[in-house]
Structure 1
Amino acid sequence: MVRFASWFFIAAFGMAGIAVEAAAQQPQQPRRVASLAAGAATSAPIGWVQFCNENPVDCAQRSPAARSVTLTSAAFAQLARINVQVNREIQQVTDLELFGVEEYWTYPVDGKGDCEDLVLEKKRRLIALGVPREAMLITVVRDLNGDGHAILTVVTDRGDYVLDNFTNEVKLWHETGYRFIKRQSQTDPNQWVSLNGGAAGPQLVANPRR
């Protein structure tokens, strides 16, 4: 059964699990922000390098400054909607099944793809809807089984949220149980930064303005 963000999650931006449509109608409440702290520069995944060689226009955009999403209830509902759409529409298969190789990053081919392909598609759709690309960062983690996994982290004024092909629920990063390894820099998609496993826990900052 598809799970959606709950009324309480939209009202308090903490917990999750009701219809996306209801999310757009619920008021916000102030809360402290849980953000991932970036570490030192690190290497880009080989799959990203291969993707950029084949799609140079999609990797050429650089920005003089980082940007974030102002997480209104409507903005959250948009993130949840795209996450659900892509998870439903794309048949999830491995690169080995689809391309005969262990690792190959691309937009979903013939409606099929694995985790990084769904991430690329979610990011592409959200950019088309006007979400700033600097706020959407491809992120490499270790999942609950300890396996390598790609997710889309969205930097917002209420913390860093995760769009994931394993779930239709949009969560704060520290609610996933994942070990965070590295992600794109906000100003240069080809520069990646380490996340030290998220070991330091949430970085708490002052409440944003409503």
Structure 2
Amino acid sequence: MRHSLPLAAAMMVAIFGSVGPATAEAAGVKVPLGFRMMCLKTPEECLGGGASHVEATAEVMATLKRVNSHVNRAITPEAGGPVIWRVGVSAGDCDEYAATKRNLLIRAGIPPSAIRFAYVKARGEGHAIVVVKTDRGDFVLDNLHRSVRPLAQTGYRIISMSGADPKAWSAG
């Protein structure tokens, strides 16, 4: 066990190019450490692929609403949990909501590259959300709101967002 931390650090450098604090900053871009740790533990949760945008059909919008509602009901809010982002848990913070929503959206047929994680300022604190890129704009799935809303109507200031490759984040 004493070699686990150096091995994990080496793997993070290999995957992301660096190891940093809870929110790593490279060229001003914040990449949550918990996201990085999730990618090491469950790399299948951090794969891209498929179209970078999806057509906002009635079926797609219904899927977004269904997943947002289901996850918001299934996870009990719990502040200060583990740093690592987790999927399919019964309690967690915004990271768990976001990771679980992305997982379920992919399983429902939404292309992974059209689903982005975003780190925003909400209520004066950092907050993780899911953004789905569509031909009608970006839509937000958020544990702080029951409805799926256009990003422009949320009032959020994006600090950083994952790209079509979820491991590649850029400044908001």
Q: TM-score range by the shorter chain?
A: 0.7 to 0.9
Would the aligned equivalents of 1:107 and 1:113 in 2 still touch at CA under 8 Å?
no
Q: Which secondary structure does the structure 2 equivalent of 1:116 belong to?
A: helix
**In structure 2, what residue type is equivalent to 1:75?**
V
Residues 54 and 139 of structure 1, relative CA distance in 2, 3 Å threshold: same
Residue 119 of structure 2 is matched in structure 1 by 140
Please identify the structure whose Cα radius of gyration is greater: 1
Would the aligned equivalents of 2:29 and 2:159 in 1 still touch at CA under 8 Å?
no
| Residue 107 of structure 1 pairs with residue 92 of structure 2 | no
Q: Shift of residue 58 of structure 1?
A: 2.3
Would the aligned equivalents of 1:140 and 1:151 in 2 still touch at CA under 8 Å?
yes
| Residue 170 of structure 1 pairs with residue 148 of structure 2 | yes
Q: Distance in 2 between matches of 1:194 and 1:177?
A: 17
Q: Distance in 2 between matches of 1:108 and 1:146?
A: 27
Q: Distance in 2 between matches of 1:43 and 1:114?
A: 18
Compare relative contact order (CA 8 Å, sep 6+) and give the higher one, 1 or 2: 1
Residue 22 of structure 2 is matched in structure 1 by none
Q: Shift of residue 70 of structure 1?
A: 0.4
Instruction: Tell me the C-alpha RMSD between the 2 structures.
Output: 1.8
Structure 1 residue ranges without an equivalent (≥5): 1-39, 196-210
Q: Distance in 1 between matches of 2:146 and 2:116?
A: 18
Structure 2 residue ranges without an equivalent (≥5): 1-26
Residue 68 of structure 1 is matched in structure 2 by 53
**In structure 1, what residue type is equivalent to 2:146?**
N
Q: Distance in 1 between matches of 2:168 and 2:28?
A: 7
Residue 73 of structure 2 is matched in structure 1 by 88
Residues 73 and 148 of structure 1, relative CA distance in 2, 3 Å threshold: same
**TM-score (normalised: structure 1):** 0.65
- 1:39-78 equivalent positions in 2, closer than 5 A: 42-59=29-46, 61-63=47-49, 67-78=52-63
| Residue 128 of structure 1 pairs with residue 107 of structure 2 | yes
Q: Distance in 2 between matches of 1:127 and 1:76?
A: 14
Q: Shift of residue 42 of structure 1?
A: 3.0
Report Cα offsets for 1:18-57 as digits up to 9, x if no partner.
Answer: xxxxxxxxxxxxxxxxxxxxxx883522111111121123
Report Cα offsets for 1:90-109 as digits up to 9, x if no partner.
Answer: 11112x2x44xxx3311243
User: Equivalent of 1:159, from 137, 154, 164?
Assistant: 137
Residues 153 and 62 of structure 1, relative CA distance in 2, 3 Å threshold: closer
| Residue 117 of structure 1 pairs with residue 96 of structure 2 | yes
**TM-score (normalised: structure 2):** 0.78
**In structure 1, what residue type is equivalent to 2:33?**
I
Report Cα offsets for 1:124-146 as digits up to 9, x if no partner.
Answer: 11111110000000100001x22
**In structure 2, what residue type is equivalent to 1:113?**
G
Q: Which has the higher helix share?
A: 2
Q: Shift of residue 194 of structure 1?
A: 0.7
User: Equivalent of 1:189, from 157, 166, 172?
Assistant: 166
Q: Which secondary structure does the structure 2 equivalent of 1:85 belong to?
A: helix
Q: Which secondary structure does the structure 2 equivalent of 1:183 belong to?
A: strand
